[in-house]
Structure 1
Amino acid sequence: MKEKKNILLITYDNWGYNQYIADALERKSFTIKHINFHSFRYKYPSFRHKALNFFTKNLGISNLKHIHYNEIILKEIQDLESIDTSIYIKADFLSPETIQAINKKSRRSVFIISDSINRYPKTKKILSLFDKVFSFEKKDCKRYNLDFKTNFIYKTVDNTLLSYKYKVFNISSYDKRFPILEKIAKALYQMRINSKIIVFKPKKNSGPHLEFISAPLSISEINAFMEESEIMLDVSRAGQQGLSFRVFESMGLKKKLITTNTDIVTYDFYNPENIFVVNDINNIQIPASFFTTPYTEIPKEIFDKYLIDNWVDELVE
């Protein structure tokens, strides 16, 4: 009987998406150990430690939480004698010493970068520690000689609904994208498009075009809203080329997409019948026909390569 390969997956999985990677690898008969260091809880010994950490963290000297992450991860791998492939997501949270200790036990190491390196510059210092580095950002792939990889489809449907509760859906945190999101939400409201646009921002009053919530929603709650909505809305960060999960969720659920990510037109699945790109945020003009015409199926050979069960193959080959 062929021996199962051991895969170590180390992620900061704050939304739960990386568990889909672990599940897909398990379905392929790998033995998986998923260390999600977002679940590690750190309690400051005193208020003085908390105050000191605020300054040292922002000065780039040290971060007590990150030190805690590294210590627990090293304890977690103590009993692992041999790892066939170690896969890292958010490795910039870890020290080079921790990464090197893990890689000493690993036949192969893979790092997946889901954000731009400009946003997380510490990433540059650890690129050389891995056998393979993938990035969602084409610009970073070219600049740092990395391998390009997109996000993945983790949920699919066979049939779509005949009617939906909402026409357009989006959920996001309150950040620098908010002014753009607000403009799109207002434009949809003025077009009398029934939208469900949720922003995680405690102590903020909701209005007719935006709903503010005080606690983040779970993936299952988000999935329920997506299933009840006909069209997805995606707002990318400034300078972002890499495609967010909203894009691949819309593909898997066979839903149209409104997005501010102009690079999406370069992808093989792009179809203007399914995807409307907002090029001018100050002059949003979405044709009425976009909301009334049906979704066009993506060719199977294109669709299948983004499915999580196929997406993971490149990580462990």
Structure 2
Amino acid sequence: MRILLMAPTFFGYRDRVRDELSHLGHDVECVDDRPSESVSFKSLAKISYRLIDRQIAEYAMSLREKVAAGEYDLLLFMGGMSFCFTHDQFSSIKSASNARFVAYLWDAFNNCERFGACRDLFDIIYSFEPSDCERYGLKLRPLFFSGAYDGLPLVPVGGFTYDACFIGSVHQPSKFEAISSICDNLESRGLRVFRFFFMPSKSAAALRRLTNPAYRGVEFSFESLPAEKVAEIYARSKAIIDSPQAGQYGLTMRTLETIGAHRKLITANPDAVLYDFASRGDVAVWRGEGSIPPDFFETPYRVLPDEVYRGYSIETFVRTLLGDEPAYEGYEKGN
């Protein structure tokens, strides 16, 4: 199958999906879902796409030409709020090809205004957000874990260095406040916590410190940790800490990485316990002080059935989007 994969480049999600599609024998070509990844373009886009519609229109025309000449069997869009095309622009792209159009959303539908206006142009739409699937008739499909954490020992040689760890971006205030509360609470109980708070830039950190007291006095990093270092920290930690962004309850990529790493999960997402991977009690929901029971750290991680891990693997994720796997059924099965 010849596939055009349209997605943003951040966090390497697109590359991982491309590599898996290629591994399955498909011919894959990648394009960005917007004409520029520059700071100025992103800043104007946050204000209004109308400020950059000329640039978007030119990019839509170039994509139309690519689709018309490419003889693609499938156009696969993965993303969310970065979808920038108007209905007329994307309709022109779709009319240039007989390809099947499939979309996967990893942002809440309400945050994807322009995508919402184009939803009728896709043959099928998957989303990570259960409430959006119910409200808009989308197909539920959580994100995936890749093979980065295959082979991590259930207990490292010499024992665990940390009881819990957090490694991630904290530019979104409600997420940062939840993560900080969890870390502070665990440390106040004498537990060992590793924190790595990533900020995309020093100017972003300065703005947050200026506008939100919670950010003041906190040390941030402006370069992400290498993947091998993340794996090392995960291997030495009993549990991984996570929180979704405000208004979202779909599973984050960090939650899926936790499953792949065979580690316990502490999350501010109450929906996490409704999934089949939570069935053995290794998921704790943060609801404030006292919500993480002491024995959560005392009991060992309980390995899940193979079919549960397979359900969240990148292979199953990709095969689902291709229509080669049955619909995801792991939601509302947790205890």
Into which bin does the TM-score normalised by the smaller protein fall?
0.7 to 0.9
Change in Cα spacing, 1:190 to 1:86, as seen in structure 2 (3 Å) is same
Aligned to 2:170: 173
**Structure holding more helix per residue:** 2
1:30 to 21, 26, 43: 26
Aligned to 1:133: 125
TM-score by length of 2: 0.79
CA separation in 1, counterparts of 2:297 and 2:45? Answer: 50
Preserved CA contact (<8 Å) 1:274 1:296: yes
1:110-149 to structure 2, matched below 5 A, reads: 110-149=102-141
CA-to-aligned-CA distance 1:97-150 (integer Å, 9 cap, x gap): 443344332420101111111233333211111011111111111111111111
Runs of 4+, deviation exceeding 4 Å: 37-44, 53-57, 218-221
Aligned to 2:328: none
- The one-letter amino acid of 1:182's match is S
What SS is found at the alignment partner of 1:273? Answer: coil
Aligned to 1:287: 293
Aligned to 1:314: 320
Aligned to 2:63: 74
CA separation in 2, counterparts of 1:42 and 1:287? Answer: 45
Aligned to 1:18: 14
2:246 to 213, 224, 238: 238
Q: Note the C-alpha offset of 1:314.
A: 1.9
What SS is found at the alignment partner of 2:145? Answer: coil
CA separation in 2, counterparts of 1:229 and 1:210? Answer: 22
Change in Cα spacing, 1:94 to 1:218, as seen in structure 2 (3 Å) is farther
Aligned to 1:47: none
CA separation in 2, counterparts of 1:65 and 1:228? Answer: 50
**Structure 1 stretch displaced more, 291-300 or 159-168:** 159-168
Aligned to 2:84: 93
Q: How many residues align?
A: 303
1:140-159 to structure 2, matched below 5 A, reads: 140-155=132-147, 156-159=149-152
Q: Note the C-alpha offset of 1:200.
A: 2.2
Identity of aligned residues (%): 24
Q: Note the C-alpha offset of 1:38.
A: 7.4
TM-score by length of 1: 0.83
1:58 to 31, 47, 70: 47
1:304 to 305, 310, 316: 310
**Structure 1 stretch displaced more, 151-160 or 129-138:** 151-160
2:275 to 254, 267, 278: 267
Q: Note the C-alpha offset of 1:219.
A: 4.3
CA separation in 1, counterparts of 2:294 and 2:55? Answer: 49
Residue segments in structure 2 that go unaligned for 5+ positions in a row: 210-214, 324-335
